[in-house]
Chain A
Amino acid sequence: MDLTFASITDIAEAVQSKKVSAKEVTEHFAKRIDSLDEKLNSFTTRNDQALKDAEALDARIAKGEHVGPLAGVPFGIKEMFCTKGLKTTAGSKILENFIPPYDATVVARLKAAGIVVMGKLNQDEFAMGSSNETSFHGPTKNPWKLDCVPGGSSGGSAAAQAARLVAGTLGTDTGGSIRQPASFCGIVGVKPTYGRVSRYGIIAYASSLDQAGPMVSSVKDAALTMEVISGFDSFDSTTTQRSVPAWSKNLKADMKGMKIGLMKEYMTGGLHADVQKTVENAVDSLKKMGAEIVEVSVPMSEFAVPVYYLIAASEASSNLARYDGVKYGHRAEFKNLSAVELETFYGKTRGEGFGKEVKRRIMLGTYCLSSGYYDAYYNKAGQVRRLIMNEYLEAFKKCDVILSPVTTAPAFKIGERISDPLTMYLNDIFTTSTNLAGLPGMSVPFGLSQENLPIGIQLTASHFEEQKMLDVAFALEGASPVKGKNPHVI
């Protein structure tokens, strides 16, 4: 079997039925990482135990044990997830040497399902960025065009998956960080409904927006991975107690009777011609498959970017207060610790440990939460957030799934936007409202730009309606004009 392009299901079935050993699979992908990652910089830490883990899995299979639906599947994990015994820096100097003593719930669930962790993947520092250029480990490159960004913040995951250095990856999405890099790198990325997936052990950026999800090569692989990572966790009080549907088994590409919403606010002006064309092609395909297209309107989505940044920065300024140089992470050097004032100790440590973008957002958040500004910024943003969610819920009375672009344009050049934060923030215009409203969203590849860069289609559903969204993605995947196209680097 061609392991490089095999699906997660195919690898797991082959390993379980002993057609191939987990060790052989691990060796195959380890070689790919060895030979290709130098160009991409997608891996930050390799798991030296990967081969041993695979052998242990093979030994269990030899004994006739059931090892789970992802047996022997090599995975890469975004640095945002705590992994026991494996360095987890969140792309930041302040966590340069941090080795967690425990696994994030999602990582523990994937391990229980049989994955082999190949290593940790690069990301924007604390997931703050839309280009993967703010990482302490340096930028990741887009495997389709090495002078372009892979998107952020889960850019390492997207690049590693697109270049097939692994068979599956995990990302996190606070304002589009799974969907945008998935679109830029031509893979499938899913952000489940807020509360579907536990955030326990995920390094917190903005707690009311963060959600983990799969970044993989097919809709079915995404559905299967979601089944493994979703579900109630007593360590995260925001997880839902609803049961987890069998998304992967229920997938259907039949679009008859399906109502697809087009948000009129998203289709006017500012769109790159290739993105516009890709969206039109997707709409035509769905129409041909029998779906009904309806226009919906979420006027408040115009304000999603400011609301998102005000809320995310405020929550970040609070969440990142834990990095104080006392319990873990970087600590500034002091000649005589007993003569240092506590505020100086914190200030110097944090000033040295955080990168520019993180400091910028902590400052923005602290300002929004400070006396005299709280009502005008944080509280006001929370109120508009409710209006955005209410408008979405109204829109979903008229349609099953909303189709939209993921970004205004395909991947941009490294360095092109990094010096202008506001322009970079506006890049998230199509993705942030999904997080604000807690809705599930995903990106599925459907086009290529004239420069041969991937373009994804964004699908959004109502709360806990992932099946509808996955079904539309499955239908689009089947009709995709870019099916089977891969980046030149592999």
Chain B
Amino acid sequence: MIDKKTIEHIAKLARLQVSEEEAQEYSTQLAKALGHFEQISKINTAGIEPLVTPTEIESFWREDVVKQEFTAEEMTANAPAKAGNLFKVPPVV
């Protein structure tokens, strides 16, 4: 059941502020989509390992060499707010 309360809960988990209007819209649309997607529940998948990567992955190691490819200025150039070369954030503790 995708009611408004569920939408608010998911939005909180997703760190996504949604408006009243959006919550209403998403609740109808997600219920419709998930209702349609329910069809996979009928498929017998007992003992089937879920497929995560569709082709083989060959393990490899990169050489353990320290490289400085970017300067601190380059890495912080896109920051919405900064102090010197530090990202400015709200209080986190």
Contact = CB atoms under 8 A, between A and B. Distances in A.
Answer yes or no: are A and B bound together in one complex: yes
Interface of A: 97-99, 101-102, 193-195, 208, 234, 237-238, 240-241, 300, 303, 306-307, 309-310, 317, 321, 324-331, 334, 337-338, 340-343, 345-348, 350-352, 354, 356, 359-360, 362-364, 366-367, 370, 376-377, 379-387, 389, 421-422, 425, 436-439, 463-464
Contacts of A238: 53, 55, 57
20 contacts: A99-B77, A101-B77, A234-B60, A237-B60, A238-B53, A303-B40, A309-B37, A324-B15, A328-B79, A337-B81, A345-B90, A359-B22, A367-B34, A370-B10, A370-B13, A380-B45, A382-B50, A386-B49, A421-B33, A439-B54
Contacts of B17: 347-348, 350-352
Given A306-B40, A387-B43, A360 B51 contact: no
A1 to B, nearest CB: 40
A357 to B, nearest CB: 10
Interface of B: 2, 6-7, 10-19, 22, 26, 29-30, 32-34, 36-37, 39-41, 43, 45, 48-58, 60, 62, 69-70, 74-81, 87-92
B90 to A, nearest CB: 4
Contact of A438 (B10, B15, B54, B81): B54
Contacts of A438: 53-55
B35 to A, nearest CB: 9
A202 to B, nearest CB: 16
B88 A306 contact: no
Q: Which of A329, A334, A342, A348 has the most CB of B within 10 A?
A: A342
Nearest to A84: B74
Contact of B55 (A102, A240, A306, A352): A240
A385 B50 contact: yes
Nearest to A330: B80
A350 B16 contact: yes
Given A195-B56, A359-B26, A383-B51, 20 more contacts: A98-B78, A101-B70, A208-B52, A238-B57, A324-B15, A326-B79, A328-B80, A338-B91, A342-B92, A345-B90, A350-B15, A351-B16, A360-B26, A363-B30, A366-B13, A370-B10, A376-B41, A377-B37, A387-B43, A422-B32
B52 A382 contact: yes
A387 B45 contact: yes
B78 A327 contact: yes
B68 to A, nearest CB: 13
B14 A362 contact: yes
A284 B17 CA distance: 54
B4 to A, nearest CB: 12
Contact of A387 (B36, B48, B60, B70): B48
Given A97-B78, A364-B30, A240 B22 contact: no
A255 to B, nearest CB: 27
A367 B29 CA distance: 13
B49 A194 contact: no
B17 to A, nearest CB: 3
A365 B21 CA distance: 20
Nearest to A364: B30
Contacts of B32: 422
B22 A356 contact: yes
A367 B30 contact: yes
Given A351-B16, A386-B49, A381 B78 contact: no
B87 A326 contact: yes
B54 A208 contact: yes
B79 A346 contact: no
Given A366-B10, A386-B51, A422-B29, A347 B16 contact: yes
